[in-house]
Structure 1
Amino acid sequence: MIRNADTQDTSFVYACLCNLEDCTLDRKVFEAGYKQQLADTSLSMLVLEHEKQPCGYMSIRTLYHLHHCARIAVIEELYISRNARGNGWGRAMMEYAVQYAQAQGCVQLELSSSCAREGAHAFYKRVGMSCSHYKFTRNI
């Protein structure tokens, strides 16, 4: 089951994103940002449950892009718990994202993935995504 995240999911989502980023995020800063994002109507924060246990998290944002002259959806974060991988949950989350984006009137679904996550890149290609852009970043 995929459902909207809420404040009771804070610890689970925190653990997911610490694992995703392979670091320990500042818990107080995270919690403040989490509450802000729960209130953000352009962002949907979702938890995947199996047998009433959370095992995945995804956030997806919709916005209007002038260069597309249309709405697009951007998966900001996607994480499946390590012990839940290989069961089709990532594919289910991606299918949900496509359906969600279509229901929001979006013409494209995008996501970024770290260059080091080669396994994730292969997964995204298997579920129909293509690598059509570069993303450049600069720490400031």
Structure 2
Amino acid sequence: MGDLEIRRTTEDDLPAVVALLADDPLGAQRESPDDLTPYRAAFARLAADPHQHLVVAVRDGRVVGTLQLTIVPGLSRRGATRSIIESVRVHADERGSGLGTRLIEWAIAESRRQGCHLVQLTSDKTREDAHRFYERLGFSASHTGFKLPL
């Protein structure tokens, strides 16, 4: 395997990132890789926000993973800043290679660098393999999450 680079996502990376987001049963229901228009608009908003860190993992010139890290200043926990990890995806060819661990380790290190006191993430209830993965990395299932589609 070639060297791995974790770097900020560029607009040229969007087709590969959206393909990763769509490459599972849940993502296939939510994503539209054939129309990148909404993703380009979202990318512009993310790129303009210094609290957003959308990254890709690149090996041998190919995007093989991605995640989004959001830095959230807050008042609770004595004014603690926290980070939220979202949209963690690893290309099917790379699953089991340690790439997911490398991405999460990058996110934790960047969270520390940004002065965060807490890293949090959510994972769909059906992603049991992902839950075990996050627990192996030291995360605990401490809360129940709720969503309201708008």
Work out whether 1:2 is the aligned partner of 2:34. Answer: no
Give the match for residue 101 of structure 1: 111
Give 4+ residue runs of structure 1 displaced > 4 Å after superposition. none
Aligned-residue offset at 1:52: 2.2
Question: 2: CA distance between counterparts of 1:38 and 1:3?
Answer: 13
Give the match for residue 59 of structure 1: 68
CA RMSD of aligned residues (A): 1.3
Question: 2: CA distance between counterparts of 1:6 and 1:38?
Answer: 9
Letter aligned with residue 83 of structure 2: A
Write out per-residue CA displacement over residues 67-126 of structure 1, whole angstroms, 9 at most, x where no aligned residue: 222100101211001111111000001111110000000001000100011111011011
Trace 1:1-140 onto structure 2 (pairs within 5 A). Answer: 1-19=5-23, 21-23=27-29, 24-25=31-32, 27-68=36-77, 69-140=79-150
Aligned-residue offset at 1:50: 1.5
Q: Percent sequence identity over matched residues?
A: 28
**Structure number with higher strand proportion:** 1
TM-score (norm 2): 0.88
* SS of match in other structure, 1:22: helix
* Number of equivalences: 140
* SS of match in other structure, 2:73: strand
* SS of match in other structure, 1:13: helix
Letter aligned with residue 111 of structure 1: L
